[in-house]
Amino acid sequence: MGVAIVSGLWLTDLHGGFDSGALSTDFDKTLVLKSVLVALLVAGALIHDYVLGPRLQRELKAGEPQAPETRKRLVLVGWFNFSLTIAVPILGAIVLTYLT
């Protein structure tokens, strides 16, 4: 994720994405979309690993009945993160095609 973030920022700066005319080309729009998806991936990973996962683990250790909504959310966030993990490199490859 760090490579995706750093490369996205570098490419954005290199191609003037921080200028006032940003979003004027397909390259800029694709790069912004990739950046948003990376931010969502980071947020989803944090929620999955530091909120929902530990909550489910506490419920299991305490011998409480497993709350179906906790497990359902954990699985949903996991699949969402998996989808973003596939989509972000694909968008990165699309961005690279604009450079060649």
pLDDT tens string 40-50: 989 999 998 99
> How far is C-alpha 32 from the geometric centre of its chain's CA atoms?
12
**pLDDT for res 96:** 76
**pLDDT for res 7:** 79
Percent of the chain scoring above 70 in pLDDT: 90
What value does the mean pLDDT of the chain take? Answer: 82
Of 2, 6, 12, the residue nearest 33 (C-alpha): 12
Q: What residue spans define the domains of the chain?
A: 26-99
Burial call 45-72: b when 16+ CB within 10 Å, e when fewer? bebbeeebeeebeeeeeeeeeeeeebee
> 53: pLDDT confidence band, cut at 50, 70 and 90?
confident
**pLDDT for res 21:** 67
